A and B are shown apart, each in its own frame.
Chain A
Amino acid sequence: MRQAGRWHGRLAIAAGVLSLCGAGAPTLAQSLGDTSSVGPSTARSTTGEQTYRDICQACHMAHAEGGVGAGRVPALAGDPHLSDPDFVLARVLHGQGGMPAFADMLSAEQIAGVTNYVRTHFGNAYTGTITAGDVRRRSTDAASD
């Protein structure tokens, strides 16, 4: 009984340390390779527009026009895929192709904010507002799949 309690304590500490570290932290440096040793891994934006400027335009460009090289960086401007909020959330949370999983880099509030922003800007006018609660439900569902 006493023994079991101690192991659980250690595991809890280990889990706590991991959650503090985030994507760029040293404990993950090995699994992710040498792409940045340490450093802040989360964004500080508060509005959907700020999150778009801070994060999304890195690839999707300032006017959500995307780009073309060896492959295509998808434009979000006038994108019919965005009519489905679940599609957008799945991409933002889990990433695909050149897009990383943002589940650990952005908060549920930031993800909801930026999803609503891109669905209502750049020539998109889709209805239905995503809440932070929707984002949390969606990421929990995926985690338990």
Chain B
Amino acid sequence: MIEFETPSRRALLTAIGKAGGTLALYQAMTALGHAAPTQFSGPPKLAGAKPGASVIILGSGLAGMAAAYEMSKAGYKVTILEYQDRPGGRNYSVRGGDVIKETSGTVQHVRFAPGNYLNPGPWRIPYHHQALLHYCQEFGVALEPFVQINHAGYIHSADAYGGKPQRFAEVSTDFKGHVAELLAKAVNKNALDDTITKEDKDKLLEAMRGWGVLDKNMAYTSNLRTSAQRGFDRPPGGGVNGAPTPSEVAGLTDVLDPRVWQTLGLYLNTTMQTTMFQPVGGIDMIGKAFAKKLAGKIRLNSKVTKIAQDDASVTVDYEDVVTGKKAQAKADFCVCTIPLPILSQIEVQVSNAKQAAINSLPYQSSCKIGLEMKRRFWEQDEQIYGGHSFTTQSISQLSYPSTGFFKPGPAVVLGAYAGGAAAYQFAGMTPEERIETALNQGSVFHKQYREEFSNGVAVAWSRLPWITACASSWTDDLRKTHYQDLVSVDGRVVLAGEHCSYIGAWMEAALLSSIDAISRLHQRAVAA
């Protein structure tokens, strides 16, 4: 269906571009949903709050803290209740000395060297997540580049290249070369004559020759030109032995392994495109910056047990998880950011439709493993500076630190980033088994792995008692039935968080959802 729409939309944009110039074209593209990957249009404008109006916010993740920060600025009296003993929610980093408790009672003690960390949840920021970047700038959170695509990283498939990892530059060049050669063959056999004009045929052949680095016979072969993209056996040098020798291109069958095109395709998603950023020192620098602005407004260790509302106010029952003391908090309005696996077990006084939405949305899990290595062998021995290696094994990928390049001493690699079924496979293991599995599988990339390993930590989201899952898992059908009910203002209560967005598990989702929720709640408050 999209195929039918495309020409008319393109024709329209071309016409607009011709008539009104670039700015008009950009505005039109934005209106049509192109070229604006975030909906952020500045912080919310909440003018005219009634004096003394109060809001209770449940959860101190980014959604809750953004709501508290903006509503507080607008003149509301805000209080946050937080279940954990720290603010931040999923905006979370672990460092040496930290303790990770699992629902099973299992405890991990993080033993990383000072300065090293693992971001168990969010860890990278797309350049177009402008709401998040806005707050980072407002709070002075220092950002540095997150190395995303790295042509020196590896791709490993158990079913291709004899199970031997290949550099990204090698497989990406080979994939492109073989596809170009095949397309050129099809064109030259006149197989596409009913589809393209003679003129386009010539242009396409020229493009395939250049883009695919084909030889004069339109074949993808081993030579110095293809090696200039995929790498040489002996790279160009100086002096007597300066002449390079080419590398051998791989055959078509290996190149067609799904892991190859899936990895090439990954970087095409707008959320995966460069430039990406990370906060210097750990992702939780963002949550900490928010929390600093909300000093005295966050009550930690508070487990919400009931949310009730009437015509005049919202009443939240909660329990101090340290002292066991029960208490009640009253406010005019409530912003609830509690993740749904937890909220669905709390008595909430909302419409049946909203309750059904809260009950119906399932969550997915994830597992990240941080492995501290004694030295940066990936940099020192293999010239890999940041970025990722991908595998068909359950660890899914290995990511190298985007910071501290060339430093001597220990550094932490992400030794597993497991989703889908693999997230549960890791969660069911003991932390020691998880790390052992990650070491086993990661050794396929780096023979130094075992010898250089110092210590590790494995965070399985489904075992974290404060959330029991990782992130919401919408389907088109669920959205049709429940999304609007989930995000609607219900009396004096509104929900916010990544689960109330079309973005999914990104920090931008928490912020955009929160800004939208408090803007609507504010309208309701002013109108009341």
Contact of A29 among B272, B359, B426 (CB under 8 A): B272
Complex interface: chain B residues within 8 A of A41 (CB): 419-422
Task: Tell me whether B465 and A67 are in contact (CB under 8 A).
Answer: yes
The interface stretch among A53-61, A79-87, A122-130 is: A53-61
Residues of B within 8 A of A36 (CB): 366, 396-397, 417-420, 422-423
Contact of B103 among A54, A73, A99 (CB under 8 A): A73
Known: A26-B266, A69-B465. A34 touches B362 (CB 8 A): no
Q: Which residues of A contact B469 (CB under 8 A)?
A: 97-100
- Given A24-B422, A53-B428, A58-B463, is A33 in contact with B506 using a C-beta cutoff of 8 Å? yes
Cross-chain contact B265 with A39 (CB below 8 angstroms): no
With A and B bound together, what is the CA distance between A26 and B155 in angstroms?
A: 15
* Interfacial chain A residues near B359, Cβ < 8 Å: 96-97
Whether A35 touches B419, Cβ cut-off 8 Å, given contacts A58-B365, A70-B83, A97-B362, is: yes
Nearest A-chain residue to B393, judged by Cβ: A40
- Report B379-411 residues with CB < 8 Å from chain A CB: 388, 390, 392-397
* Contact status B424-A30, CB under 8 Å: no
Kindly state whether residue B190 has any CB partner on chain A within 8 Å: no
Do residues B460 and A58 form an inter-chain contact, with CB atoms below 8 A? yes
B122 at the interface (CB under 8 A from A): yes
* Bound-state Cα–Cα, A56 to B364, Å: 13
Q: Which of B71-79, B212-220, B471-479 contacts A (4 or more CB under 8 A)?
A: B471-479
Q: A34 to B417: give the CA distance in the assembly, Å.
A: 10
Residues of B within 8 A of A18 (CB): none
- CB closest chain-A residue, reference B397: A37
Q: How far is the CB of A35 from chain B (nearest CB, A)?
A: 4
- Please give, as numbers and ranges, the residues of chain B lying within 8 Å of A98 by CB-CB distance: 341, 362-363, 462, 467-469
Given contact pairs A58-B423, A100-B473, A69 touches B466 in the complex (Cβ within 8 A): yes
Q: Is the CB of A100 within 8 A of B364?
A: yes
B424 near A37: Cβ-Cβ < 8 Å: no
Q: How long is the Cα–Cα vector from A31 to B419 in the complex, in angstroms?
A: 14
A13-70 with Cβ < 8 A to chain B? 20-27, 29-43, 53-59, 61-62, 67-70
Indicate whether A132 reaches chain B with its CB closer than 8 angstroms.
no
B487 within 8 A of A: no
A8 CB, nearest partner CB in chain B, Å: 11
Pick from A21, A40, A69: contact of B421, CB below 8 A: A40
Q: Which of B456-512 contact A (CB under 8 A)?
A: 460, 462-471, 473-475, 498, 503-506, 509
Of A7, A67, A99, which is within 8 A of B104 by CB? A67
Q: Contacts A29-B271, A70-B303: A35 and B366 contacting too (C-beta < 8 A)?
A: yes
Interface bin, chain B: 35 or more
Q: Of the candidates B363, B396, B426, B428, which one forms a contact with A24 in the assembled complex, judged by CB atoms under 8 Å apart? A: B396
B397: chain A residues at CB < 8 Å are: 36-39
B112 to chain A, nearest CB (A): 22
Complex Cα–Cα for A89 and B374 (A): 48
B349: Cβ under 8 A from any A Cβ: no
> Judging by beta carbons under 8 Å apart, are B424 and A101 in contact?
no
Contacts of B475 in A (CB 8 A): 101
A40 touches B269 (CB 8 A): no
- B425 with A54: CB separation less than 8 A: yes
Inter-chain contact A43/B265, CB cutoff 8 Å: no
Closest CB-CB distance, A32 to chain B, in whole Å? 5
* Across-interface contacts of A73 in B (CB, < 8 A): 103, 468
Interface flags for B251-291 (1: CB within 8 Å of A; 0: not) read: 00000001100110110111110000000000000000000
Min CB–CB distance A120 → chain B (angstroms): 20
Whether B504 contacts A70 by the Cβ 8 Å rule is: no
A22 to B504, CA, bound (A): 17
Given contacts A20-B258, A34-B122, A37-B266, contact A100 B422 (CB under 8 A): no
Contact across chains for A38 and B422 when beta carbons are under 8 A apart? no
Contact B506 A42 (CB under 8 A): no
Give the distance in Å from the alpha carbon of A68 to the alpha carbon of B469 in the complex. Answer: 13
Contact B424 A23 (CB under 8 A): no
Least Cβ–Cβ distance between A40 and chain B, in angstroms: 6
Residue on A nearest B122 in the bound complex, by CB: A34
In Å, the complex CA distance between A42 and B425 comes to 10
Q: Is the CB of B420 within 8 A of A105?
A: yes
Q: A37-B417, A39-B418, A100-B473 are in contact. Are A32 and B364 (CB under 8 A)?
A: yes
Distance between A92 CB and nearest chain B CB, rounded to angstroms: 11
Known: A34-B506, A35-B366, A35-B419. A57 touches B269 (CB 8 A): no
Chain A residues near B423 (CB-CB < 8 A)? 36, 58
In the bound complex, what is the Cα–Cα distance between A136 and B4 (angstroms)? 34
- The verdict on B448 contacting chain A, using a C-beta distance below 8 Å, is no
Residues of the A chain whose Cβ atoms lie less than 8 Å from the Cβ of B498:
33
Q: Which residues of A86-115 are within 8 A (CB) of B?
A: 94-101, 105-106
Q: Which of A20, A33, A43, A97 contacts B471 (CB 8 A)?
A: A33
CA distance A24 to B467 in the complex (A): 21
**CA of A106 to CA of B421 in the docked complex: distance in angstroms?**
8
Which of A21, A53, A62, A105 makes the CB contact (< 8 A) with B262?
A: A21
- Interface flag for B360 (CB, 8 Å): yes
B340 CB-CB contact with A under 8 Å: yes
Q: Known interface pairs A26-B265, A29-B271, A42-B420. Does A35 touch B364 (Cβ–Cβ under 8 Å)?
A: yes
Residues in B with CB closer than 8 Å to A42 are 420-421
Within 8 A of A (CB), among B242-258: 258
Given contacts A40-B394, A99-B363, 5 further A-B contacts (CB under 8 A): A37-B266, A38-B396, A59-B468, A96-B344, A100-B473
A residues touching B (Cβ–Cβ < 8 Å)?
A: 7, 10, 20-27, 29-43, 53-59, 61-62, 67-73, 94-101, 105-106
Closest 7 CB pairs of A and B: A69-B465, A36-B419, A33-B505, A33-B504, A39-B396, A95-B362, A41-B420
- Identify the B interface with A (CB < 8 A): 3-4, 83, 103-104, 122-124, 258-259, 262-263, 265-266, 268-272, 303, 338, 340-342, 344-346, 359-360, 362-366, 388, 390, 392-397, 417-428, 460, 462-471, 473-475, 498, 503-506, 509
6 contacts between A and B (CB under 8 A): A37-B417, A38-B262, A38-B266, A56-B428, A96-B344, A96-B360
